[in-house]
Amino acid sequence: MTHGIVSAAQPEAAEAAADILRDGGNVIDAAIGAALVQTAVDPQMCGIAGMGCMHVYLPSRGVHTTLDFHGRSPGAVRADMWQDIIVRESDDGWGFILQGRVNEIGYQSITTPRTLAAFETALNRWGTRSLATLIQPAIAYAENGFLVRPHVAEFWNRPPAAGRPGNIDIVTKYDPARKIYVKPDGQVHAVGDVLRNPDLARTYRHIAEHGAADFYSGSLANRIAEDMTAHGGLISLDDLANCGPDENPPLWGTYRGYRIATNNPPGGGIMLIQMLNILEHFDLAAIGHNTPEYIRIVSEAMKIATADKDAFVGDPRFFDVPVERLTSKAYAAEMAARIRRHEKTLVPRFNAGGAESKHTTHLCIVDADGNAVTMTHTLGQPSGVITDGLGFMYNGAMAVFDPRPGRAGSLAAGKARFSALSPTIVFRDDKPFLVLGAPGATYITMGNLQAMLNVIDFGMTAEQAVCAPRFAAVSDTIEVSNRILRAAERALVDQGYRVMRHAQSYTIAWVHAIRIVDGQMDGGADPATGGLVIAV
């Protein structure tokens, strides 16, 4: 009998979670242990100085909640501080390119590092193991090393695009990063190399001994703040001291009789609910999976949600997000009627040019009692900054704030940026049916949406749903993976759509999912990341 199942973007993380479950730990223990391993073996996708969202469902304890730990802008931020150095907005809506890249690489790109605080909070509330115990596998990978996987090396060596330098700067620009990621011959580690990070191991041992509080108000906090001050960073001791996560009830929606629980703004769950509401007006199964008409309809729903997100969705503590209107069935009916009339939605972008890379990871865990965790965590855009001797890289999540004052995503001190992070649980008959989430920047919601449609409308297993070819429309361009039929692409072009084909067969978010049917669980891990599903 299967007692639990794990899906994670890295084999090392999936194994860590499975070992914890076998040893009697609960889903919270397994999730945090696995997430800490992710920070060691995928250190540009996530880290303790990052951000994210954790969706927790523990029915035996009456718990269904989300821990939101989006990075917030430091207290030194001003709304207008970058408005005169804008180059353009990314075509996919994932951030702005500024002169000198000050918002995405370097000390001014760092938002408050809230990941470690969220991990400890989750353990204190619902776990059975200590942070000191669960961090040990991550220490081992940092000390002894991990094999560089193709997904890791591909990120480092991704070539320049749209005038933006390649990602190699993230691990080579600053000496503390070069010390870890560049070999004596001057080359970054290659696929199959063993990468060791003894500085990270020492930092994690210090955290194991002194607790996460030391990172935010103790000796580690002092080292971080001193480094920021010395290099013109914006993060202060006060910023670090206010890094606890926010607990919020899920945002709810429905789709074809299923109940959808996801996260609130500034997360991307609002987009999922909106798109599902629109698509409920179409018989997608009859239209056919990934046919030209299917791609057109779903893409238009994606574009509507994207345009509304850009205009109306931000940190609700700073901006009045019209959640009720955007997630209403009446509004969805109006939008569906537009799609039926073959109206094309435009997605405005400021001086756009080129899609950007994605830097995030995910895990899902479900046990036999129906307890579930789905968590997406990230560095946003890795800043390239490592405080010498500490070993971990800081997030560069300031990149996604809008440098133009007066907008939903504009800069403000203490404000969280929008993120498409949308860890979601689908319920059937008041029991979890599908637990899923994805990395992938602005494509996260689009990948999650298609996996949900694949399972609900087309009856796919979790693995089939995750592996099916995907597309996305986060701008006026429909992007397709290389397994979308060229005949479908030609039909869309004939209808006046601009279509961009990716060379990769598995791309457009990296979805991970677990499906539960009559008490039996099956899982899927996106092949693009080298992920793994393990039943326990």
Label each residue of 294-327 as H, E or C. Answer: HHHHHHHHHHHHHHHHHHHCCCCCCCCCCHHHHC
State the greatest distance between any 2 C-alpha atoms of the chain, in Å, as a whole number: 63
What's the predicted TM-score (pTM) here? 0.95
Average pLDDT over residues 281-295: 98
Going from the C-alpha of 434 to that of each of 281, 462, 463, 489, the distances in angstroms are 22, 8, 12, 30
Average pLDDT over residues 274-291: 98
Buried b (16+ CB within 10 A) or exposed e, 463-484: bbbbbbbbbbbbbbbbbbbeeb
Q: How far apart are the first and last CA of the chain?
A: 9
| Position 78 in a domain | yes
| Position 412 in a domain | no
| Position 383 in a domain | yes
**pLDDT for residue 101:** 85
How would residue 350 be classed by pLDDT, with cut points 50, 70 and 90?
low
Buried b (16+ CB within 10 A) or exposed e, 249-259: ebbebebeebb
Contact call for residues 274 and 446 (beta carbons, < 8 A): no
3-state secondary structure at position 394? coil
pLDDT at 458 over 70: yes
**pLDDT for residue 303:** 98
> What is the C-alpha to C-alpha distance for residues 326 and 339, in angstroms, rounded to an integer?
16
**pLDDT for residue 528:** 92
Average pLDDT over residues 274-288: 98
Cα Rg of the chain (Å, integer) = 21
| Position 419 in a domain | no
Average pLDDT over residues 112-133: 98
Per the model's pLDDT, the better-predicted residue between 359 and 356 turns out to be 359
- Whether 360 sits among the annotated catalytic residues: the reply is yes
**pLDDT for residue 399:** 87
> What is the C-alpha to C-alpha distance for residues 151 and 24, in angstroms, rounded to an integer?
32
Q: Token pair for residue 505?
A: 């067969």
Average pLDDT over residues 306-314: 94
Query: Which stretches within 128-283 are classed as H helix?
Result: 131-134, 136-144, 150-156, 168-172, 175-181, 198-210, 213-217, 219-230, 237-241, 269-279
Q: Structural domain tally of the chain?
A: 1
Average pLDDT over residues 456-474: 98
pLDDT at 356 over 50: no
**pLDDT for residue 100:** 85
Per the model's pLDDT, the better-predicted residue between 407 and 124 turns out to be 124
For the chain, percent of residues with pLDDT exceeding 90: 87
> What is the C-alpha to C-alpha distance for residues 130 and 135, in angstroms, rounded to an integer?
9
**pLDDT for residue 353:** 46
pLDDT at 58 over 60: yes
DSSP-derived secondary structure for 336-385 = HHHHHTTPPPP---SS--------EEEEEEEETTS-EEEEEEE-SSB---
The residue range of the domain holding 88 is 15-245+374-400
Going from the C-alpha of 11 to that of each of 204, 333, 339, 421, the distances in angstroms are 21, 43, 41, 22
How would residue 88 be classed by pLDDT, with cut points 50, 70 and 90?
confident
**pLDDT for residue 351:** 47
| Position 393 in a domain | yes
Catalytic residue, candidates 360, 378, 445, 529: 360
| Position 354 in a domain | no
**pLDDT for residue 395:** 96
**pLDDT for residue 131:** 98
Residue 98 pairs in a beta bridge with 86
Q: Token pair for residue 357?
A: 């890379």
φ and ψ of 251, to 5 deg: -90, 130
> What is the C-alpha to C-alpha distance for residues 236 and 238, in angstroms, rounded to an integer?
5
399 Cβ neighbours under 8 A, 6+ residues apart:
94, 95, 96, 103, 104, 109, 380, 381
**pLDDT for residue 158:** 83
**pLDDT for residue 400:** 85
Q: pLDDT tens, 203-214?
A: 999 999 999 999
3-state secondary structure at position 66? strand
Average pLDDT over residues 404-414: 92
| Position 170 in a domain | yes
63 Cβ neighbours under 8 A, 6+ residues apart:
56, 57, 126
Average pLDDT over residues 416-442: 95
pLDDT at 167 over 90: no
How would residue 93 be classed by pLDDT, with cut points 50, 70 and 90?
low
| Position 144 in a domain | yes
**Among all chains, which residue has been given the structure tokens 């004052």?**
405
Per the model's pLDDT, the better-predicted residue between 100 and 129 turns out to be 129
Average pLDDT over residues 23-52: 97
**pLDDT for residue 165:** 65
**pLDDT for residue 98:** 85
Q: Tell me which residue of 151, 257, 193 sits closest to 527, measured CA to CA.
A: 151
